[in-house]
Structure 1
Amino acid sequence: MMEPRRRTFLRIATLELCERFGFYGLQSVSVLYFVRTMGLSEQGAIMLWGAFSALMFGVPVLGGWLGDRILGARRTVAVALALLAIGYTGLASGMGGATGVSLVLAVLVCGGGIFKPNITSLLRHAFSGADDRLDIVFTIYYMSINIGATIAALAIPFLAVHIGWQASFGIAAAVLWAGFAVSLTLPATAPPPAGAPDRRLWLLLGAGIGAAFTLLHYPALARACIWVAAAAILLIWIMLYRRSKPAWRAGLKLSFALQSEAILFFLFNQQIATSLTGFARDHVAATIRLEGMDWALQPGQFQSLNNLWIVAFAPCLAALYYRAERKGRPISVPIRFLSGFVLLTGSFVLWRAAALAGAAGPVSPWWMVAGYALFSLGELLIAALGLAVIARYAPPDGVGRLMGCFSVLGGLASYLGSLVATDATRGPAGGLGAASIAGYAHLFGNLAALAALVALASALFIPFARKMDAHWRRALPPPPAANEPILETLP
């Protein structure tokens, strides 16, 4: 890697770390913070986080357009970081009440939404036509995401208890302002779009913040928009399929089926910020014994286990993939989905057992450690496959639309995950005591059953997937020349 590119990469990775620090810091305390500052019930707080998550998935579709057509990726990233820094500064200033917090969250939605597509665009431009180390570049970049997430999930809950909500968010704001300063030092990696931005940009941002505020402040409207978006995406899928050439249709059908499995993962992933954190708060012992010492834990800090296990398992899984490729038996996408959902099933079976054991008193934190180990390994097998199947099977003129649809559907699944998580808060005793532990056991059991059903469907779908893949390949144009890459056959 050339020296200027190394410096550029380090700056981009730093920006990603800063953004993830803010997001995961807020996620680690979100439900408790909303309850205490907005006067919401726990159900209301969970659904607010669900709406926030859904919008975070949807806005990148517009953020990519903003970076491509109006500002360019570098300036869009700077604007995004400024919005994020302003948002966390708002939290640090103590803006309370439903209106104040909803406004701050709306600013964070717009900042985070336009940040994600453009930071990856910056990375792509910085290394376009460069050396052969892109796999190393993206591996280290992914690690920066997990480093920021881990630090935030450990630090913000601890700081919120010991120095207060406002001071802890003040630290997050300082991190984002530092990220904004770093973004101003980035070199131009691609020519900006023709024409200078004008007041339409500020009108667009203002309209985006206003729309996000309205959806966050009025939950019924948010629910209606979620279902309208789902119906619109289904219509886009149908139209794309009907307008595609016959040679691409078998691949599209296979892509739709595999994307549906990947999207379901977000429903389970939403439990990290909602039901799993609530369970840790109410029914898991607050200290863990490690190396002969007792370590105090805040409920939100258990979320860091997800990132820590990902960092631990990712190299092992990469080595497994490499060995399978060397032996000529690569692990196919359907097999990865099957294995991932089997592991998710195991994680929620463990957590259900922990909830049943919690009827006699707080359970050991090692239940959470073991459950997150299975969950995180399952996540590594599933998480990136939705985009991978789009890249493989979608027609070239439909990739962008399907990528955008996948992002929005991920937000829909996250919102449904929050809706599912509220089941644990319902019970004859108002979601407390024995009723709460029964609610968590019921919820985790249902999630285990759902994951098992998806795993079973994945297993039954494997022979059909192979046939559809073969049919798609037979319908494609003749194979490329010898010096062009050849697509790997689905085992």
Structure 2
Amino acid sequence: MNTSQPRAIYYVVALQIWEYFSFYGMRALLILYLTNQLKYDDNHAYELFSAYCSLVYVTPILGGFLADKLLGNRMAVMIGAFLMVVGHLVLGASEMAPVFLYLSLAIIVCGYGLFKSNVSCLLGELYHPEDPRRDGGFSLLYAAGNIGSIVAPIACGYVQQEYSWAMGFALAAIGMLAGLVIFLCGNRHFTHTAGVNKAALHARQFGLPNWGWLLVLLVATPLLITVLFWKEWSVYALIVATVIGLGVLAKIYTKAENSKQRKELGLIVVLTFFSMLFWAFAQQGGSSISLYIDRFVNRDIFGYEVPTAMFQSVNGFAVMLCGVVLAWLIKEGVSGNRTVRIWGKFALGLGLMSAGFCILTLSARWSAAYGHSSMPLMVLGMAVMGFAELFIDPVAMSQITRIEIPGVTGVLTGIYMLLSGAIANYLAGVIADQTSQSAFDAAGAVNYAIDAYIDVFSEITWGALACVGAVLVIWLYQALKFRARRLAAQA
């Protein structure tokens, strides 16, 4: 039996590394760019940042549809990567006019939609359905992405501080371009994957061939999203997407054939709700926490001021390091009730999130007392928050893939990403906005209120702890029910 991975996977992995480098490098700079360079007030910056982070979880639904019907996964991924290169280059020109800022973010959102929903599907095409190498391939892809997310904030943050904002964004574009070039060099290894559906592209609909409508869509969608950013209307797009998603979920529930399937769906719905709250807290890392670090944390090491953007690497590093340790230490047993274990892991993840924000609250109180906080304390808090992620998404996604309702796994995954990604990022923006309390001194300089950060970090600490309490109640109920069933079976 051949145990080596197909050659094509290494080109997909390289593309994934550079896509993560591009996306997370730009993301680490964005909130700082809006406030420090463009001089947006915190409210406006949080609004735009959360809108951008929300819409990148909505467009993959359209991207997946286009790949399935017209483009194929390989072509969709290449077009998506190219659009992200263009978007990051346009972002570098946004200091000249706000329209370039909105347009660049819109182009990146569209590129991400075509890329993110299809790169995993492309990887899946490299294997036969029963190929035992499949799980190893997806593990490799996940690990590779984390490498990009660790390196990107360090590299882009350094280039931005030493040269310019435009150079920082250009480095993100160069990274994505490098990934695309590497991928194209391995094109001969993908000849067996599905290509462009030429018959469907040339079929006519409403007076135009589908390729014509595709071009219209590729031009109109970035322009539409630009308007959503400009007019601050992105929340309406989220509402529409959420209503449709919940409607589809209700339809799946009504078509469930038995109580076991309905119970599994109910479990997924509740897990998704707590995941949404978890990520609304966790996504403070790119917004309010980043601005807190920039304003109130002593970043000096032997005379060198560490760029704020570099702190975004802490999360990815914690996920990788703790993930390896957990994989080595924990061996999942077959005994016991799986539902009980699921709620136990969720309680641990939410508890770690609460602990991370407790450390951040301590850091903010230290800043209030002494004018600034220490960098190690900040790194510790962010690392604990990164560790918490390992007990949320992997657990929820594993449960979704286990559901015994045919043909709904992909839809449920999309709904999960919509709620725990798009809606969570919108809520994260609402939470972050509570830190935007500032005043002007007699000289006209801005004084940011450290008390606002103390209040918000403390409220998140208690909010996450309240979620832990709710999850523990569910865990205890499930444990007692399982014990009662086992005793009844023994009797």
Residues 188 and 464 of structure 1: is their aligned pair in 2 closer, same or farther, counting only changes over 3 Å? Answer: farther
**Structure 1 counterpart of 2:471, from 451, 455, 458:** 458
Residue 107 of structure 1, CA deviation: 0.4
- Are the counterparts in 2 of residues 251 and 469 from structure 1 also a CA contact under 8 Å? no
Residues 122 and 466 of structure 1: is their aligned pair in 2 closer, same or farther, counting only changes over 3 Å? Answer: farther
Give the distance between the partners of 1:439 and 1:43, measured in 2 at CA.
13
**Structure 2 counterpart of 1:233, from 239, 242, 245:** 245
Aligned residue in 2 for 1:264: 277
Asked if 1:373 is matched to 2:383, the reply is: yes
SS in 2 for 1:313: helix
Give the distance between the partners of 1:59 and 1:236, measured in 2 at CA.
17
Aligned residue in 2 for 1:418: 429
Residues 469 and 125 of structure 1: is their aligned pair in 2 closer, same or farther, counting only changes over 3 Å? Answer: farther
Asked if 1:251 is matched to 2:261, the reply is: no
1:312-356 CA distances to partner (integer Å, 9 max, x unpaired)?
A: 11111112332x428878782111100000000000011001101
SS in 2 for 1:396: coil
Matches within 5 A, 1:67-82: 67-82=67-82
Residue 174 of structure 1, CA deviation: 1.8
- Are the counterparts in 2 of residues 24 and 149 from structure 1 also a CA contact under 8 Å? yes
SS in 2 for 1:192: coil
- Are the counterparts in 1 of residues 93 and 100 from structure 2 also a CA contact under 8 Å? no
Residue 68 of structure 1, CA deviation: 1.2
- Are the counterparts in 1 of residues 5 and 137 from structure 2 also a CA contact under 8 Å? no
Asked if 1:307 is matched to 2:316, the reply is: yes
Residues 295 and 415 of structure 1: is their aligned pair in 2 closer, same or farther, counting only changes over 3 Å? Answer: same
* Residue-pair matches, total: 465
Give the distance between the partners of 2:446 and 2:333, measured in 1 at CA.
51
Residues 383 and 3 of structure 1: is their aligned pair in 2 closer, same or farther, counting only changes over 3 Å? Answer: closer
Residues 468 and 201 of structure 1: is their aligned pair in 2 closer, same or farther, counting only changes over 3 Å? Answer: farther
Give the distance between the partners of 1:395 and 1:327, measured in 2 at CA.
24
CA-based RMSD of the aligned residues comes to 2.7
1:134-168 CA distances to partner (integer Å, 9 max, x unpaired)?
A: 33322222121111111111111111111111122
Aligned-pair identity (%): 25
Aligned residue in 1 for 2:123: 123
Matches within 5 A, 1:381-420: 381-393=391-403, 395-409=405-419, 410-420=421-431
Residue 433 of structure 1, CA deviation: 7.8
- Are the counterparts in 2 of residues 250 and 469 from structure 1 also a CA contact under 8 Å? no
Residues 194 and 230 of structure 1: is their aligned pair in 2 closer, same or farther, counting only changes over 3 Å? Answer: closer
Q: Which amino acid aligns with 1:124?
A: G
Q: Which amino acid aligns with 1:51?
A: A
Stretches of structure 1 lacking an aligned partner (at least 5 in a row): 472-491
- Are the counterparts in 1 of residues 268 and 400 from structure 2 also a CA contact under 8 Å? yes
TM-score, normalised to structure 2, is 0.88
- Are the counterparts in 1 of residues 438 and 446 from structure 2 also a CA contact under 8 Å? no
Aligned residue in 1 for 2:296: 283
- Are the counterparts in 1 of residues 154 and 309 from structure 2 also a CA contact under 8 Å? yes
Residue 260 of structure 1, CA deviation: 1.2
Residues 403 and 130 of structure 1: is their aligned pair in 2 closer, same or farther, counting only changes over 3 Å? Answer: closer
- Are the counterparts in 2 of residues 254 and 468 from structure 1 also a CA contact under 8 Å? no
Aligned residue in 1 for 2:212: 199
Give the distance between the partners of 2:154 and 2:483, measured in 1 at CA.
47
1:244-286 CA distances to partner (integer Å, 9 max, x unpaired)?
A: 2233212111111112112222212211110111111011001
Residue 424 of structure 1, CA deviation: 0.9
Aligned residue in 1 for 2:222: 209
Residue 385 of structure 1, CA deviation: 2.6
Give the distance between the partners of 2:15 and 2:482, measured in 1 at CA.
39
Aligned residue in 2 for 1:168: 168
- Are the counterparts in 2 of residues 127 and 134 from structure 1 also a CA contact under 8 Å? yes
- Are the counterparts in 2 of residues 31 and 42 from structure 1 also a CA contact under 8 Å? no
Residues 462 and 170 of structure 1: is their aligned pair in 2 closer, same or farther, counting only changes over 3 Å? Answer: same
- Are the counterparts in 2 of residues 287 and 294 from structure 1 also a CA contact under 8 Å? yes
